[in-house]
Amino acid sequence: MTVITFRNIKKHRQVTPFSVYRELESRTRVKKAKRETRRGRRNHLVSEQRDSGNSKVPAQQEGLFLRNATGLVKSISAFGVFAWVVVNFPWLSSWAGIFWVTPSYYRNVNYYAGLGVWAAIAIIIVLLYWQLTVAMPRSGGDYVFVSRMIHPLAGFIVGLFFFIAYSISAGSGPYWAFSEAGSHLSFSGGVLASQWMTNLGAMITPFAANSDKPLMFGVGLILLAVGATAALVAGRVLKAIIYGIFIYGIFVLALVVGILLTHSSHAAFIQSYNQYASSFTNTTSAIFSQAATQGYSPGYNLTNLFFVIPLLFVSIGPYPVMQNVGGEIKDPKKNLLYGFLGAEVLSIAIWFALTWLLDSVVGISFLEAWTVAPSAGGGFAPVPTIFVTVLAPNPVLVWIIFSGLFILNIGWSWLAFVFLSRVVMAWSFDRVIPTRFAHVSSRFNTPTYAVILCAAIAIVPMYLEFFTSFIATQVNSIFILATVWILASISALVYPLRRKKQLYSSTETSSIGGVPVISLLGIIGIIAFGYVGYSSIANPAVGPFATGAQIFLAAILAVGIAIFIASYYYNKRAHGVDLMLVFKELPPE
């Protein structure tokens, strides 16, 4: 006789087909009762409000939020914050960006003075966003700050602006990885007299005449998928990737610094350059002579200082982003301060040291002359790591530096998926967009559909970067981000006033002369970000602001307003939910 078993019936119980049926029926009734109970709890207060006509019940009591907890996990430590901030603006590749961009627009720059002023602004930004995140420790960042402190519509527009700008970052990572690493490889091939290396470098440099853009785009799609998967799985996988990029970046940086320190004589550099690079760019003396015919003379002054600082901001930030995962940082009052401020202070020290080493060994004047000389840069600045190859012409070192530049640029684009998905999730949690995007995986504790959406959208700017000039000529990302940060600064300014109405409960804010520190930081932030925003309009080196760029900005604004209004009336009519009540308090943790 066949024995009928059921895995959840105790082992020694007598089992019959009827007993199995009764067990299944009982379990089905229990599950159904639990579902009805959960549904009843969720809908009871909303139904009660509709019956009574009371529209002033607080949002969480109404059940307007999708659930009582986001499903995200507080897992980011102080060191985690530190590593994330450094990966977002890697020490080597970000510093290289300073000299890869600025000399093409401005010469005779006093980089030490520029870095000094920039550093003061950077510290203020760090402290400002630390205070905001401690006051409102929720994932969603600027969207949460502005929607609760200024107005829900302004908050949604801010979130949309950030989403557009950082979607471009997520999609542009491969383009800049190939650009910086390919430029280094192409020049290094000339130093090593390796034609295939030169040709390969040119093939994978997007702006080179004979580059293989379809190949780079294909590789970019694969990298995008890997980054999105890492953001989706998160946990130990994401931590391992971030820490791995962080450690490898330190290794490559140490290698570059070691070479510069062991060749600390400018005379030794001149000798090496004339020996290994003069055959395809001319000698150092000839480069200075050519630059002189173009109107360049060595030296530096402060004339261009305030034009250069926004360019430094473009290259080395800091772009405040950790507030977007504010709800996932353990004890943000302590860990965000130590991690964010520590990373920024050490970054400032490293970038000053690298600039001094470059100036001492290579000479910033030579780099500027090289940029101007027709036989060398021809108006385009070099990736400064190429001069490390001149000092140590070794193919192994070339590939290590190449891989470092490439990986470090990919790292920050992968992090963008994490930050973007939290903004999308925050929108959805507030019911501004479909609630599906607030779904959080019970296995990975990440917003599944939000990450997938962000990855799909990032393909668009990646395509535009490789095959068109749209982003370079029509998208002013710095102005977009400056707008976000200005409104966040206003949120900091008014926070103590709003807090007096007892809308929020956070730690007491300190004050100076009776003025809350968070408000003082907000005032300084408005000035600093206003300056950056103005520079992005007035200075073409920072960002485009022609008619096309203005139309693009207006289109984003119009779309944002339309989405918010449509969402408001949809929730009101289809669900009887007053969307504005959501923004009366912070979302659940």
> Which of residues 585 and 451 earns the better pLDDT score?
451
Q: How far is CA 560 from CA 31, 159, 433, 555, in A?
A: 42, 9, 11, 8
pLDDT by residue (tens digit) across 411-450?
A: 999 999 999 999 999 999 999 999 999 999 989 999 999 9
Q: What is the C-alpha to C-alpha distance for residues 368 and 492, in angstroms, rounded to an integer?
A: 41
Average the pLDDT over each of 72-76, 272-276, 506-510, 549-553 and give the range with the smallest value.
506-510
Lowest mean pLDDT among 241-250, 295-304, 559-568: 295-304
d(CA 120, CA 125): 9
Looking at residue 574, its amino acid is A
Note the pLDDT of residue 294. 94
Higher-confidence position of 5 and 479: 479
441 in Cβ contact with 450 (< 8 Å): no
Q: What is the pLDDT of residue 13?
A: 42
| Distance separating alpha carbons of residues 141 and 16, to the nearest angstrom | 58
| Alpha carbon distance 318, 313 (integer Å) | 7
Domain ranges (residues) in the chain: 1-35, 78-142+154-160+169-455
**CA–CA gap between residue 281 and residue 367 (Å, rounded):** 13
The CA-atom distances, in angstroms, between 243 and each of 182, 250, 349, 403, 467 are: 25, 11, 21, 16, 33
In the predicted model, is pLDDT for residue 218 greater than 60?
yes
State how far the Cα of 277 lies from the Cα of 367, in Å rounded to an integer: 14
**Would you state the structure tokens that stand for residue 362, as one six-digit string?**
């290579």
Looking at residue 91, its pLDDT comes to 96
Per-residue burial over 535-553, b = 16 or more CB atoms within 10 Å of its CB, e = otherwise? bbbebebbbbbeeebeebb
Q: Residue 183 in contact with residue 201, Cβ under 8 Å?
A: yes
Cα radius of gyration (the chain): 28
Mean per-residue pLDDT, 210-221: 96
Give the lowest-confidence range in 16-30, 120-134, 175-189. Answer: 16-30
pLDDT at 18: 44
pLDDT tens by residue, 484-498: 999 999 999 999 887
Contact residues for 9 (Cβ-Cβ < 8 A; gap 6+)? 15, 19, 20, 23
**27 falls in which pLDDT band (50, 70, 90)?**
low
Contact 529, 313 (CB under 8 A): no
511 versus 243: which is more confidently predicted? 243
Question: What burial letters (b/e) apply to 244-255, b meaning 16+ CB within 10 Å?
Answer: ebbebbeebbeb
pLDDT (tens digit per residue) in 45-70: 334 333 333 333 344 444 556 566 78
- pLDDT number for residue 501: 52
State what percent of residues in the chain have pLDDT above 70. Answer: 87
Task: Decide: helix, strand or coil at residue 76.
Answer: strand
